[in-house]
Amino acid sequence: MKRIAVYCGSASPEDPRYIQLAHDVGRTLAERGIGVVYGGGRLGLMGAVAAGALEAGGEVIGVIPEALAGANGKGGEVANHDCTELHIVSGMHERKLAFTNLSDGFLTIPGGVGTMDELWEAVSWAQLGYHAKPVGLLNAFGFYDHLLAFNRHMIEVGFIRPAHQGILIAEAELDLLLTRMAAHEPHTPIFAMKVTDL
């Protein structure tokens, strides 16, 4: 994996562990020679991921919609012009397509609604066959325990087919997660299945 799209929140929770985690993720990826593709903002966990990677000499590619690029947050503009490259796109659909085209995998760390949208689209697109890249979930501090329980529930009920149960790769430790993502083997996507398999 030469580049990984990192999905995370633009908020800064009161608990400092989240910002530190994001900074450490960016630094670790840079130290491994893996470029970061992310949402292009300088606030919250997004900004911390970028800062961690840049401080370690890594490549950081930001992709931000026009509406956010010119927006002002606390202390100034939302867009992070310190990125190695900053792509300004027309909207969220173009942003997520760019994430997919620019990266070799997806890594989700804690975040909110936008982060969930990005995570589930990456999983859905893998399931369908729009990409065959690893989709990782860093369950730091047990943040995603309930989401993983719900994913298991979808599997048990039968809404996730056996062939697709391993798409979401979840671990509590980053090193193990990156190792598993690097060893990822593509599954049979829905587009390649026979009707009788569906």
- The domain that holds 53 is classified in CATH as 3.40.50.450
Are the CB atoms for 45 and 11 separated by under 8 Å?
Answer: yes
Q: What is the pTM of this model?
A: 0.93
- Please state, in angstroms and rounded to a whole number, the distance separating the CA atoms of residues 143 and 110: 7
Are the CB atoms for 36 and 49 separated by under 8 Å?
Answer: yes
The structural domain count of the chain equals 1
Write the pLDDT tens digit of every residue in 22-72. Answer: 999 999 999 999 999 999 999 999 999 999 999 999 999 999 998 888 766
- Please state, in angstroms and rounded to a whole number, the distance separating the CA atoms of residues 126 and 191: 10
Domain of residue 32, residue span: 3-197
Burial of residue 76, with CB atoms counted within 10 A of its CB: 0-12 exposed, 13-18 middle, 19 or more buried: exposed
Are the CB atoms for 99 and 63 separated by under 8 Å?
Answer: yes
Write the pLDDT tens digit of every residue in 152-173. Answer: 999 999 999 999 999 999 999 9
Positive or negative, the CA dihedral 55, 17, 171, 187 is negative
Write the pLDDT tens digit of every residue in 103-133. Answer: 999 999 999 999 999 999 999 999 999 999 9
Are the CB atoms for 49 and 26 separated by under 8 Å?
Answer: yes
